Amino acid sequence: MTSFTRTRARFLTTVAASIVALPAAVLANNHTATDGTAMTAQTQTAPLIARSALFGNPTRAAGQISPDGQWLSWLAPKDGVLNIWVAPADDPAAARAITSATDRPIRQHFWSPDSRGVLYIQDKGGDENFLLYRIDIASGAETTLTPFENTLVRIVGGSTTHKDKLLIGINNRDPRWHDVHLLDLTTGALSLVLENNSYARFMADDSLTLRMAMRQNAAGGTDYFSVEDDVVAAEPFETTAMEDALTTMPAGYTTDGATLYWIDSRRRNTAAVLAQDTSTGAKRVIAEDAKADIGSTMRDPLTGEVQAYAVDYLKTEWTAIDPGIGAALAWLGERLDGDFGVSSRTDDDQTWIVWNDPLTQPVSTYIYDRTAKTLTPFYTSRPALAGMPLQVMHGLEIPSRDGLTLPSYLTLPPGSDADGDGRPDSPVPMVLLVHGGPWGRDTYGFNSTHQMLANRGYAVLSVNFRGSTGFGKDFINAGNKQWGLKMHDDLIDATQWAIGKGIAQADKVAIMGGSYGGYATLAGLAFTPETFACGVDIVGPSNLETLLETIPPYWAPVVKTFHERMGDPNTEEGRALLRAASPLYKADQIIKPLLIAQGANDPRVKQAESDQIVSAMTSAGIPVTYVLYPDEGHGFARPENSIAFYAIAENFLAECLGGGAEPLGDALVPSSAQIVEGAQHVQGPEARRGG
């Protein structure tokens, strides 16, 4: 059980898309921070933030403390690749690396409940077949706990009382379904608990007893079944309709199993935290907010009781239920500027790992001793950003044409806003940066892409368009079957708003994004070809029909969500809707420069999604630049590839919008980037053409 639980409804992260271009911009390597014709004089004189400082390896990241408080752990480079490091809590200088990843960075780790080992998950080349590994702290021995091929592991449950075991789901028997196993962390032994041929998810209590099974119903909602003696009941004890499917979900049991918490939007719009008595079924509201879903909770590490909750509308605001937690948060708030949060806690709740985002300085992490009332620096993730011209992110509300309010975030170039009112003194070029999902959201705080683009002379606008999560079910459901329609209108409305407010230059707006944001880029260039000056697509789908035909097999249990929210390919009406919303079929209308980046191993948005729109464009004589990464999946894990991509992208945008750029130099050399199409537009050493 985690003590600091993110409950925001990111139930499914799905598609991505691409954009299209006409005279694909020349990506010369001679741009500097001061050669952008559209840059303000103040921006031209601001120090250039190196790509490596924003997208290279952090010095340290993901710091944690073991449940018993004896050990610190974090991710840090070893021979240039992120690995797991540990040190005694009373002697952080005695750090040692306990893993030896040599190619793909380790990006997520956590402590075993007994504090005797560190666990992590890792896939191969971005294929998202994540296996589970354990390192014994005493001996240093590493064990592959799920030694299977083509398998994705899921954590079903952990325990504060049975610390040497976990419940995990493994889909090695049938890729569609995760069978539940009991894992002995000491011996590595796996014992089958329940063979699964029907259910999407399971939940257990602290005794590692299965208590609940979840299955999508015919309407696209979710049915919740009780489990007794590892047998699933025939009828559900709770159910949701499709309208609540992304905003209602169980949030875990208290340690004694007497209370089941829910994030629940049934009979309301925004999701509240409810506590259900498991013996009587009675529910009571713990927390609610009229403008936004409850996004996060803090729960007692031992009892599992909710102690505080967060509402994240434009910014995150915490409210404490437990007086002790309230006092601790208030104490931290008096000493930390900007945003902060708790990422790890000891079982006795005396020591916290606290991150702090000052917004215009690099994010730092501290060790907070609640008893001694001390806040000890742990590390700064990206110290090279200290003293750099990091810019404030402004939260704002933008109206849509049909009356919705779109919570959004704007970052401006350095020196462009003399009076600090969140508006530039004169219009500047702008990048509309679209989030993925689409059932996800943009949030407030440090954002590497925002900072790089603002540093190069652009306003950067991120819009939570309808369909985004966090703002109530009405806002999500307003996006149902609106791909390329009202969801796209929201992005156009936000762009026109920025132009009308004197933020953006009308002829110098680019659109950029990954996953759904890539789709939005393609749609922007194909459906509204005169609106955007150019676009950058990262792993974005171009054909919604083929996208749904090739979803990962382990998404089969929730496929109805896609059909109800995008269009059902099994019906004539649904197929027509999907086809009309697919940029592939309007590729010939793309008249502006397009850059596409794709991971060859992407299991969500297959390489074919990028291949087919590139083929359609080249067949029609429309230039496009297409970069393929053979060792990546749905996005970039290796920093060498991230740096190479942003090197290409910022020079592309400089040519298109007139901003600045760090020279391309040899950024592509250490990466796996293959220039499949448009290599003549990527000038630099070792530009490689794919086979």
Specify whether the backbone of 551 is left (phi greater than 0), alpha (psi in -120 to 50) or beta. beta
Six token digits for residue 615: 């083929």
Which member of 115, 265, 400, 515 is catalytic?
515
Look at residue 190 and give its three-state secondary structure: strand
| CA triple 299-301-305, angle to 5 deg | 40
Specify whether the backbone of 357 is left (phi greater than 0), alpha (psi in -120 to 50) or beta. beta
How far apart are alpha carbons 305 and 326 in whole angstroms? 15
Six token digits for residue 83: 């690995």
Burial letters for 421-454: b for 16+ Cβ neighbours within 10 Å, e otherwise?
ebbbeebbbbbbbbbbbbbbbbbbbbbbbbbbbb
Do the strands 534-538 and 504-514 form a parallel or antiparallel pair, or are they unpaired? parallel
Using the structure block, give the residue that is written with the tokens 């970052």. Answer: 411
Residues 6+ apart with CB under 8 A from 16: 436, 513, 514, 515, 516, 517, 518, 519, 537, 538, 539, 540, 541, 604, 605, 609, 634
Three state DSSP letters for 547-606: HHHCCCHHHHHHHHHHHHHHCCCCCHHHHHHHHHCCHHHHHHHCCCCEEEEEECCCCCCC
For residue 402, CA distances in Å to 196, 398, 461, 478 come to 45, 12, 20, 11
For residue 66, CA distances in Å to 63, 73, 113, 205 come to 10, 8, 8, 21
Element (H, E) at 643: helix 639-657
Which member of 206, 602, 610, 672 is catalytic?
602
Tell me if residue 681 is catalytic: no
Looking at the chain, the number of H-run helices and the number of E-run strands are 12, 38
- Other CB atoms within 10 A of residue 504 CB: 26
Which member of 178, 181, 634, 681 is catalytic?
634
How far apart are alpha carbons 230 and 316 in whole angstroms? 39
For residue 356, CA distances in Å to 14, 55, 327, 359, 364 come to 30, 19, 18, 9, 5
Burial class from Cβ neighbours inside 10 Å (0-12, 13-18, 19+) for residue 621 reads: exposed
Tell me if residue 563 is catalytic: no
Tell me if residue 226 is catalytic: no
**DSSP per-residue codes, 290-324:** SSS-EEEEEE-TTT--EEEEEEESSSEEEEESSHH
Using the structure block, give the residue that is written with the tokens 């010369």. Answer: 28
Q: How far is CA 163 from the centre of its chain?
A: 30
CA pseudo-torsion sign 447, 452, 454, 455: positive
DSSP state of 407: E
- Catalytic residue positions, numbered: 515, 602, 634
